[in-house]
C-alpha cells in the first residue's frame, strides 16, 4: 500500500518554511508507517491545483490531506477523475473546536466534503472528543486518527552559567490568543520573583510579522516585559533539529492553551527530558503537570513546584510513560484503519 501525505506550503518572507507543526505531525506518522512496512511519502504543494501532479507521479493507494485547505470543488474534481477512482482519501483535522471556530470556513468545508457523498472519503479529526461530538452533531461517522510522535531529541543538555540567577521557561509555538501566552508570562514572572530569579521567557515568532501589522499577542508580551526586570527572548521558527536543542536548554516549558487537539510541543519537551506544564486540553499528559488557564495563584504555585522538581526522575518518567501510552494506542488505531480500507 502506498500512502501520500499532502500539505500546503508555507512561505514566510518569500522563504519556504521546511519545518512547522503540520509537517512535523505528518512526518512522524510517515516514519512510523514506513517502519511498519508501508510505502509512504510526504509532499508540500503551493495550492490544491498542484495535487494532480503529485498523484500522477506517485500513484498512491491512500491520500492524506493534512488540514482543511483543499477546496471541496477541487477535491470533487480530483476524486472523479477516472485514473484516481481507486484512491482512498483522508482529510485530517488538526484543531479542536476552539481553533475551528476561529476559522471562518472550517465547518463549511467539512459540510461541503460531506455533501460530496463519497464512500472513499474519510474525514478524520486527531482529537477523540471532537471526533465523537462532530459525529453526533453532523450524523456522520468521522474517523479518529490521532497523532503519533516518534522521539527525536538532541544529544545533551547544556550546563548554563546563569543557573543561579535565571529561570528559563519555554512557551513555544504559534503566538495566538487561544494559546494564552500573556497569562502564562505573567504567572511565570511572579514565580521567578518568588524564587529570587530573573525570568527568561522564550517564545517563537513568525518571521513574516511586520511592524505595521503587529501580532497582538507579541505586542502585549513586549509591553509586559518592557519595564519588568525580566527578559522576553524571541526565536524565529527553527528547523526541527535546532528546535530540539532549544527545548533541551529550557528549565521547564508551558502550554496552558485554551484549546488543543494534541500539542506536539509537549511531546518535544518530554523527549528532551524537560518537564512541561500544560492545560487539561492536553488530555494525554499526567495530572501532576496540568494547571489552570485562568487561576493565577494555582499556576504560580505549579510553576514553582515543577521548577523545583525539574530533575526528578519520577516526574520525567511519568511524563514519558504517558506519551508512550498515547503512542501505543495511536499506532494501533492507524494500523487498524489502514487494514480496513
Domain ranges, ordered by start, for the chain: 2-145, 166-322
Angle between helices 106-115 and 128-138 (to 10 degrees): 60
Q: Output the pLDDT for position 213.
A: 66
pLDDT given at position 207: 66
What would the pLDDT profile of 206-257 be if each residue is shown by its tens digit? Answer: 766 555 567 899 999 999 999 999 999 999 987 888 899 999 999 999 999 9
Q: Which of 126, 149, 174, 94 is nearest to 271 (CA)?
A: 149
In sequence order, what are the residues at sequence separation of 6 or more whose Cβ sits closer than 8 angstroms to the Cβ of residue 101?
none
Q: State phi, psi for 214 to the nearest 5 degrees.
A: -70, 150
- DSSP letters spanning 119-171: TTEEEEESSHHHHHHHHHHHTS--------------S-----TTTTTEEEEE-
CATH of 166-322, one of 3.30.1330.60, 3.40.50.2000, 3.40.50.150, 3.30.10.20: 3.40.50.2000
Residue-level length of the chain: 341
Give the mean pLDDT per block of 10 residues along the chain (341 residues).
Answer: 94 50 92 96 96 96 97 97 96 95 95 97 97 97 95 60 84 94 98 97 79 82 96 90 92 97 96 97 96 98 97 96 97 97 92
183-212 exposure pattern, b = at least 16 Cβ within 10 A, e = fewer? bbbbbbbbbbbeeebbbbbbbbbbeeeeee
Please give the model's pTM, rounded to 2 decimal places: 0.90
Q: Which residues partner with 149 through β-bridges?
A: none
CA atoms lying within 13 Å on the CB side of residue 122: 19
Identify whether the C-beta of residue 215 lies closer than 8 Å to the C-beta of residue 175.
Answer: yes
Phi, psi values for residue 233, rounded to 5°: -110, 120
Q: What residues form DSSP beta bridges with 167?
A: 199
Buried/exposed code over 140-179 (b: 16+ C-beta within 10 A; e: otherwise): eebebbbbbbeebbbeeeeeeeeeeebbbbbbbbbbbebb
Q: What nine digits make up the cell of 3?
A: 500512502
pLDDT of 159 reads 56
- CATH code reported for the domain at 2-145: 3.40.50.2300
With cell 511519502, the residue in question is: 41
DSSP annotation of 82 reads G
Residues 174-205 have pLDDT tens digits of 999 999 999 999 999 999 999 999 999 999 99
Q: How many angstroms separate the CA atoms of 331 and 312, rounded?
A: 29
Report residue 305: phi and psi, to 5°.
-60, -50
CA atoms within 13 A of residue 155's CA, in its CB half-sphere: 0
Would you say 240 and 152 are in contact if contact means Cβ atoms under 8 Å apart? yes
283, 98 Cβ separation under 8 angstroms = no
Model pLDDT, residue 13: 44
With residue 303 as reference, give the H or E element that holds it.
Answer: helix 296-308
Amino acid at each position: 500500500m502506498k500512502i501520500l501525505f499532502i500539505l500546503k506550503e508555507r512561505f514566510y518572507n518569500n522563504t519556504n518554511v521546511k519545518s512547522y507543526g503540520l509537517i512535523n505531525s505528518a512526518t512522524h506518522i510517515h516514519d512510523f508507517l514506513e517502519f511498519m512496512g508501508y510505502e509512504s511519502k510526504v509532499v508540500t504543494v503551493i495550492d490544491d491545483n498542484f495535487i494532480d501532479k503529485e498523484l500522477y507521479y506517485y500513484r498512491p493507494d491512500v491520500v492524506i490531506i493534512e488540514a482543511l485547505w483543499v477546496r471541496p470543488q477541487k477535491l470533487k474534481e480530483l476524486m472523479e477523475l477516472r485514473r484516481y477512482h481507486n484512491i482512498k482519501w483522508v482529510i485530517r483535522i488538526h484543531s479542536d473546536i476552539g481553533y475551528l471556530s476561529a476559522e471562518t470556513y472550517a465547518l463549511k468545508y467539512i459540510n461541503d466534503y460531506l455533501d460530496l457523498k463519497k464512500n472513499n472519503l474519510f474525514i478524520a479529526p486527531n482529537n477523540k472528543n471532537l471526533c465523537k461530538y462532530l459525529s453526533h452533531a453532523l450524523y456522520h461517522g468521522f474517523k479518529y486518527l490521532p497523532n503519533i510522535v516518534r522521539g527525536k531529541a538532541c544529544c545533551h543538555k547544556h550546563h548554563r552559567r546563569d543557573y543561579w540567577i535565571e529561570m528559563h521557561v519555554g512557551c513555544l509555538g504559534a503566538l495566538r490568543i487561544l494559546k494564552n501566552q500573556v497569562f502564562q508570562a505573567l504567572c511565570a514572572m511572579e514565580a521567578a520573583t518568588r524564587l529570587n530569579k530573573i525570568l527568561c521567557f522564550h517564545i517563537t515568532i513568525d518571521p513574516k510579522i511586520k511592524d505595521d501589522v503587529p501580532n497582538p499577542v507579541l505586542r502585549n508580551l513586549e509591553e509586559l516585559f518592557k519595564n519588568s526586570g525580566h527578559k522576553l527572548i524571541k526565536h524565529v521558527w527553527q528547523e526541527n533539529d535546532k528546535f530540539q536543542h532549544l527545548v533541551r536548554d529550557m528549565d521547564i516549558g508551558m502550554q496552558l492553551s485554551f484549546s488543543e487537539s494534541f500539542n506536539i510541543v509537549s511531546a518535544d519537551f518530554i523527549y528532551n527530558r524537560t518537564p512541561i506544564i500544560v492545560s487539561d486540553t492536553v488530555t494525554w499528559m499526567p495530572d501532576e503537570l496540568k494547571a489552570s488557564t485562568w487561576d493565577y495563584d494555582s499556576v504560580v504555585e505549579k510553576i514553582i513546584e515543577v521548577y523545583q522538581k525539574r530533575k526528578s526522575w519520577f516526574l520525567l518518567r511519568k511524563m514519558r510513560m504517558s506519551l508512550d501510552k498515547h503512542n501505543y494506542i495511536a499506532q494501533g488505531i492507524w494500523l487498524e484503519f489502514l487494514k480496513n480500507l
